Amino acid sequence: MKQHTVIDSPYGPLTLVAEDGTLCGLYMTDQRHRPPEENFGAPDDTPFGETTAQLRAYFSGELKDFDLPMQLAGTPFQRTVWEQLRKIPYGETRSYGELADALGNPKASRAVGLANGKNPIGIIVPCHRVVGTDGSLTGYGGGLDRKQRLLDFERAAALF
């Protein structure tokens, strides 16, 4: 059974989705690869108390690492990439090539990019921390403006 709620954030409304009480989605407005609304289940705030609290702490600069149970639905390769994303330290970035190297497949940077773009739990699984080899901003499902703002926010907060 799925439920969802919408919360405000400095980056616009965020739709949180849970399946059987466990977080399985965090989507921004106008996000690429955002599932249709009818897939989000019934409106219900109940399963999102801890997620909302941790997101608020993150947005205030108090939380650097999320500790939430999650259901990441995807292929085995996608889930491996998403696990690598969670290892990128707060306030830092990695390139698609560096992630491919970390997976033991240096030629898989394009596949890493595709998996990164399908991340169902943005911000918490920090796909915004992935940049081009030269450090340039590249595609981001939530838009490059949001990506830049998230990176700037984390870099500034990491200094304290």
Beta-carbon contacts of residue 128 (< 8 Å; ≥ 6 apart): 122, 140, 142, 146, 147, 150, 151
Look up 127 and say whether it is catalytic. yes
The catalytically annotated residue of 70, 115, 127, 131 is 127
CA angle 139, 6, 42 (to 5 degrees): 115
Pairing assessment for the beta strands 2-7 and 42-43 based on DSSP bridges? parallel
Spatial separation of the C-alpha atoms in residues 2 and 47, rounded to whole Å: 10
Residues annotated as catalytic (active site), given as ranges = 127
